[in-house]
């Protein structure tokens, strides 16, 4: 309510609700969440000692944490509609039965286009679809199912992550351009298409190498039985899933137009509405009674939502820490200690780009890294720096973080809805991709800086 109506009391109530959630679910939290919460408390104590009136700072940090918690929980609800959808299963089976090369290109490109419209909602829709299709052959050959899952989830991770490099509709792009003084949104998006194109080629080549490794691995054991291939496109299933996407888009667009909401808050409010409509349609189609429908909703509330609390707390803690750190950082002292103002040209851009994923691996959220680095640029005397290229460095670093760090938004969300560890999704499956993309972006940055 606070994000849409901007009522301060509603924001304070959301902070209280988050504190209550922490108390109720404290036994579910793992080491990662406990460390981040401890760091948040420590920084809060430092801020309380440094500022005479820290209440406003704590309120702003609490609102950020409450927003990120709601963001994770509400967007994950789309997954609960997808996992029981026959249309999702039919489309997943068709998609995963295509030839591997075409399959990668379709998933990578499709996730970028859908991510431009639905933001993180694209992950919650495509993740279960891909996983259910990949695992449909598990009863025939489990190793084949595992290889398919790795290749296709990796395609989704890589494609979606690089949407932030060129799409003006992403939160990361909006934040980056706003914190870098004199950066032009159109130019940053234009340069970003170059980096995103490289991600498609790099990812496709790595996927072919993974395919060769899969064939070599399975050649030493039992050969998988041929899976049935249906070349008839499931138009009925596609239309039904398309209606879900259209419903999500229409609800979001309605709130954006009539309530002047931003895309992400609108998507958060639309997700539970569309999820309920989706479940109603599934039970109506299956001629289920209302008892089964209520049982499904109860299962989501009792089991599915609480299961996602740890990941939500991770994002919430990171967001809270980010706000506090930005208030505590003194730009002049940082410049004096690091000598960062002596760097010029491509070296400064590469440093800023590398800092975002590296700090993210230390559990520092990219919103914090980008805000601090952008603030340093705006307050310190950097000579001969192109603000558009500096903004590109930050937003490209944000994209790298989404595949290189287990604390990135994409591994956390996909890990939540697929039950695949975020370390597998980042370090194990996409570590090489992230390193190659950093090299590609470095080359692009050097070329653009010389023009």
In a domain, 180, yes or no: no
In a domain, 23, yes or no: no
Instruction: Specify the higher pLDDT residue, 208 or 261.
Output: 208
Domain end marker among 247, 278, 307 = 307
Residues 272 and 251 in one domain: yes
Residues 129 and 38 in one domain: no
In a domain, 329, yes or no: yes
State the DSSP string of 117-138: HHTTHHHHHHHHHHHHHHGGGT
Report the pLDDT value the prediction gives residue 182, as an integer from 0 to 100: 86
| Top-ranked range on mean pLDDT: pick from 127-136, 252-261, 355-364 | 355-364
Domain end marker among 258, 278, 307 = 307
Residues 52 and 99 in one domain: no
Residues 106 and 139 in one domain: yes
Q: Say if residues 117 and 270 touch (Cβ distance below 8 Å).
A: no
In a domain, 212, yes or no: yes
Report the pLDDT value the prediction gives residue 95, as an integer from 0 to 100: 63
Spatial distance between the Cα atoms of 14 and 404, rounded to a whole number of angstroms: 32
| Predicted confidence (pLDDT) per residue in 271-284, tens digit | 888 888 888 888 88
In a domain, 390, yes or no: yes
Its domain, for residue 299, covers 78-168+207-220+233-307
Residues 243 and 282 in one domain: yes
pLDDT band at 117 (very low <50, low <70, confident <90, very high): low
In a domain, 94, yes or no: yes
Residues 251 and 128 in one domain: yes
Residues 279 and 316 in one domain: no
Residues 289 and 380 in one domain: no
| Predicted confidence (pLDDT) per residue in 236-258, tens digit | 888 887 888 888 888 888 887 87
Residues 299 and 371 in one domain: no
In a domain, 202, yes or no: no
Report the pLDDT value the prediction gives residue 365, as an integer from 0 to 100: 78
Report the pLDDT value the prediction gives residue 225, as an integer from 0 to 100: 47
Q: Is 220 exposed, middle or buried (0-12, 13-18, 19+ CB in 10 A)?
A: exposed
In a domain, 271, yes or no: yes
Residues 296 and 444 in one domain: no
Residues 264 and 252 in one domain: yes
Spatial distance between the Cα atoms of 44 and 325, rounded to a whole number of angstroms: 9
| Predicted confidence (pLDDT) per residue in 387-427, tens digit | 999 999 999 999 999 999 998 889 988 988 888 999 999 99
With a CB cutoff of 8 Å and minimum separation 6, the contacts of 270 are: 248, 251, 252, 255
| Predicted confidence (pLDDT) per residue in 297-330, tens digit | 898 888 888 877 887 887 788 778 878 887 887 7
Spatial distance between the Cα atoms of 426 and 415, rounded to a whole number of angstroms: 10
188, pLDDT greater than 90? yes
Residues 432 and 413 in one domain: yes
Domain end marker among 288, 307, 326 = 307
In 44-137, beta strands by DSSP E: none
Report the pLDDT value the prediction gives residue 1, as an integer from 0 to 100: 64
Q: Say if residues 172 and 398 touch (Cβ distance below 8 Å).
A: yes
- Sign, CA dihedral 398-403-407-409, equals positive
- Overall number of domains in the chain: 2
């Amino acid at each position: 309510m606070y994000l849409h109506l901007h009522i301060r009391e509603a924001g304070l109530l959301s902070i209280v609700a988050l504190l209550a959630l922490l108390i109720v679910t404290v036994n579910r939290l793992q080491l990662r969440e406990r460390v981040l919460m401890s760091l948040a408390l420590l920084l809060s104590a430092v801020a309380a000692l440094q500022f005479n009136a820290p209440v406003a700072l704590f309120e702003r940090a609490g609102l950020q944490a409450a927003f990120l918690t709601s963001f994770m929980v509400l967007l994950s609800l789309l997954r609960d509609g997808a996992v029981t959808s026959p249309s999702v299963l039919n489309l997943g089976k068709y998609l995963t039965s295509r030839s591997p090369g075409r399959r990668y290109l379709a998933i990578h490109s499709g996730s970028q286009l859908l991510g431009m419209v639905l933001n993180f909602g694209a992950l919650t829709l495509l993740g279960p679809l891909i996983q259910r299709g990949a695992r449909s052959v598990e009863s025939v050959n489990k190793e084949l199912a595992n290889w398919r899952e790795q290749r296709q989830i990796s395609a989704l991770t890589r494609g979606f992550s690089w949407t932030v490099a060129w799409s003006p509709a992403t939160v990361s792009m909006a934040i980056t351009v706003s914190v870098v003084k004199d950066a032009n949104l159109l130019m940053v998006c234009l340069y970003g298409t170059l980096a995103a194109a490289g991600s498609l080629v790099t990812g496709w080549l790595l996927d072919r190498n993974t395919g060769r490794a899969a064939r070599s691995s399975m050649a030493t054991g039992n050969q998988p039985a041929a899976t049935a291939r249906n070349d008839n496109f499931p138009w009925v299933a596609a239309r039904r899933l398309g209606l879900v996407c259209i419903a999500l888009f229409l609800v979001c667009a309605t709130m954006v137009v009539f309530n002047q909401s931003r895309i992400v808050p609108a998507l958060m409010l639309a997700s539970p509405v569309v999820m309920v409509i989706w479940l109603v349609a599934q039970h109506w189609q299956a001629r289920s009674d209302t008892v089964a429908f209520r049982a499904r909703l109860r299962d989501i509330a009792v089991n599915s939502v609480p299961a996602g609390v740890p990941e939500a707390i991770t994002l919430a803690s990171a967001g809270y820490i980010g706000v506090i750190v930005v208030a505590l950082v003194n730009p002049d002292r940082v410049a004096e200690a690091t000598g960062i103002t002596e760097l010029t040209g491509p070296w400064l851009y590469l440093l800023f780009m590398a800092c975002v994923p590296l700090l993210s691996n230390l559990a520092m959220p990219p919103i914090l890294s980008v805000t601090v680095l952008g603030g340093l640029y705006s307050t310190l005397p950097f000579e001969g720096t192109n603000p558009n290229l500096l903004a590109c460095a930050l937003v490209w670093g944000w994209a790298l973080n989404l595949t290189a760090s287990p604390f990135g938004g994409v591994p956390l969300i996909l890990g939540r809805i697929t039950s695949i560890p975020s370390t597998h999704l980042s370090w194990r499956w996409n570590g090489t991709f992230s390193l190659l993309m950093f090299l590609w972006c470095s080359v692009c940055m050097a070329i653009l800086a010389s023009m």
